[in-house]
Amino acid sequence: MRLVYAILFLLALIGAVFGLAVITQPDPVELWTPLEGPLEASHIGETHAAEVADYERGSESRLAVLLTDEGSNWLGLAHGLKTIGVPFVITRETDRALRHDVVLVYPVISGRNTDQETLRTLARFPQNGGTLIATNVLGGGLAPVFGFEGVTESRSHTHLTFDDDYTITADFQALGQKTIKIGSETQLATNPGTNAYLSPRQRPVAVYEDGSAAIVRRDYEEGTAYALGIDLGQLLLKGYNFKEADVAETYVNRYQPTLDTLLRLVAAIYREGEPDGVTLGTVPDGKKLSVMMTHDIDYRKSVRNAVKYAEMEALNGVRSTYFVQTKYIEDFNDQSFLDEEGVGYILKLEELGAEIASHSVSHSLQFNAFALGTGREVLPSYRPFVRDLEATTEASIMGELRISKFILESLISEPVTSFRPGYLRIPTQLPEALQWAGYSYSSSVTANKSLTHFPFRLMAGRQFDTNTDIFEFPITIEDELPPLLGERLEEAKTIADKLAAYGATMVVLSHPDILGHKFEFAEGFIDHVKPYSWIGTVSDFGDWWAARDAIGVDVDDAGGVRSVKLNCPTPIEGLTLEVPESFGVPGPLSGGKLIRAESGTWLVDCIDKVMRIELAKTTGMPGN
């Protein structure tokens, strides 16, 4: 992004030196046809404050999160578990939690926040065959249960290194996840507090950079106890809320699976400890990688070139998303380009199967500092004007969202549900503003700054306690930072292969301002990932992901028949269930279809609100 700013500054300087007119007054609105609207106001203020009760329901086959402090970052933990596909319940009741085989105590265990009877009960749990995971074990006499002798607290820890001799971490080395960064070396005050466990009885699962134990494990005859020295919920929200400080090793274009690694660890512990552990796959149709090719149209020549990209993508049998700036006023940035010629190109994009999404109206560097607005902004009176690099007038967040959506939906046949801001400038209230304006999906941050290559649900105000209905699809590769995009194809392929190894998501951002090396990159990248990837639009993947996020997964004995039960509020196709190999051949089912069954994975369509798959008594898998 710094390169973009430098170029824009240089253009402004040239204009000043040569007396080029810096436009000081907005020109008239220039559209292919006069438009007035939208007629309905946006209802500002409608967000859902999350409560523990929202997450209490589920069978004993789920992971139980025993919450010791409702004022903690538990909602970030819930979002992370949803992302990685681990079914869970959250409860404040110890007896309820300990009916499950795997229990995660969060955010802390100490003698001050946990009564003695609860501490004794927790101590017996792994000794009686359960799997006990706890974050921040600070007291209460439970150190021997987890196999350590003492604990020290610090904000100076910056990295975790995993011991890949354990089954749950066996593939971390191969996936580049053996060492992950969790804190800043230079901004210690911004680091999450960590705990180091002293004199561990067994080899630590993970150590900090100074060699002290970050995650310890104690094995019993049947059960296992794990103590985590990091607040996973807090770290998740640092990434999800775009609040990491010097944890991202680069802004974009690199592989940094910090949160992915930690979520995969929890999922592996759950599957190891729960005989009936069924988790949800992360990629549609049983593929290995979810890919979204996206293009930002914020320049007049880009509209024409975009058709060439869409034609190539259509020939390859894939659809992509075009984020279109709805520019209708000539200003410092560019001329308007929603005239009849520009509209013709956009209609051609839709005809070729592309998703048309919003890229704002003004494409302003100041978007992150805009006022929220009223939710009543309309054409033709909404006239945002970019005066120069430092000033945009008569603009608001809601105006940018409402008007761009209205213009595009006046032009195309499909609703506009996806948004990306210019320059990836992110206002604090963007998540809830998107919801109020009628969007569903955002692709506004980079995967590196989010510390994850998975999608996630956004939270109102980028805080810790209020959900929105908006899902974020972070960007892995962009085209503006050096070297040239065409010179980075092999590196992008390598990243894609790593992400495919654990079912992650890869969003590529490219500006179709030129053909050449950018076009060749798109062709070469699609050719490489197509054999093992689901490739589609942000809205198509978003619809699938939102349906998946709402699914409840249980294994129960209803009616005396043992079965996997899926609660699917929205029908979903191509959903992978990762099941214990002991489940064998799927038995009779209702409420959906079994597409394919392999050892450890079933691919299903969940058609009704409840789908049941009986567990057959035989073993061995059918041929495919």
Mean pLDDT of 422-442: 97
Strand partners for 219: 224
Q: How many CB atoms lie within 10 A of CB 346?
A: 24
Measured distance CA(171)–CA(589) in Å, rounded: 34
pLDDT bucket at 436, cuts 50 / 70 / 90: very high
**Residues 363 and 424: beta-carbon distance below 8 Å:** no
Strand partners for 65: 90, 104
Mean pLDDT of 357-371: 97
pLDDT bucket at 199, cuts 50 / 70 / 90: very high
Measured distance CA(575)–CA(581) in Å, rounded: 18
pLDDT at 610: 97
pLDDT bucket at 5, cuts 50 / 70 / 90: very low
pLDDT at 21 over 70: no
DSSP classification of residue 191: S
pLDDT at 27: 67
pLDDT at 322 over 50: yes
**Residues 102 and 126: beta-carbon distance below 8 Å:** no
pLDDT at 524: 98
Choose among 585, 603, 607, 587: nearest CA to 595.
603
- What average pLDDT does the chain have? 93
Q: Which amino acid is at 440?
A: S
pLDDT at 619 over 50: no
Measured distance CA(23)–CA(418) in Å, rounded: 31
Distance from chain centroid for Cα 107: 22
pLDDT bucket at 25, cuts 50 / 70 / 90: low
**Residues 541 and 508: beta-carbon distance below 8 Å:** no
pLDDT bucket at 316, cuts 50 / 70 / 90: very high
pLDDT at 24: 52
pLDDT at 472 over 50: yes
Distance from chain centroid for Cα 560: 39
Choose among 91, 135, 102, 95: nearest CA to 118.
95
Structure confidence by residue, pLDDT tens digits, 54-77? 999 999 999 999 999 999 999 999
Measured distance CA(160)–CA(155) in Å, rounded: 13
Give the strands of the sheet with 563-567, arranged side by side: 552-556, 563-567, 610-615, 586-590
Which DSSP string do the residues of 33-52 spell out, in sequence order?
S---B--SPP-TT--EE--G
**Residues 260 and 177: beta-carbon distance below 8 Å:** yes
pLDDT bucket at 16, cuts 50 / 70 / 90: very low
pLDDT at 563 over 90: yes
Measured distance CA(570)–CA(284) in Å, rounded: 15
pLDDT at 176: 95
Report residue 59 as tokens: 């069978």
Give the strands of the sheet with 592-598, arranged side by side: 279-280, 572-578, 601-606, 592-598
Measured distance CA(484)–CA(567) in Å, rounded: 47
pLDDT at 514: 96
pLDDT at 229 over 80: yes
**Model pTM score:** 0.94
Q: For helices 258-273 and 232-240, give the axis angle rounded to 10 degrees.
A: 140
Measured distance CA(347)–CA(225) in Å, rounded: 59
Measured distance CA(496)–CA(618) in Å, rounded: 38
Strand partners for 592: 606
Structure confidence by residue, pLDDT tens digits, 230-278? 999 999 999 999 999 999 999 999 999 999 999 999 999 999 999 999 9
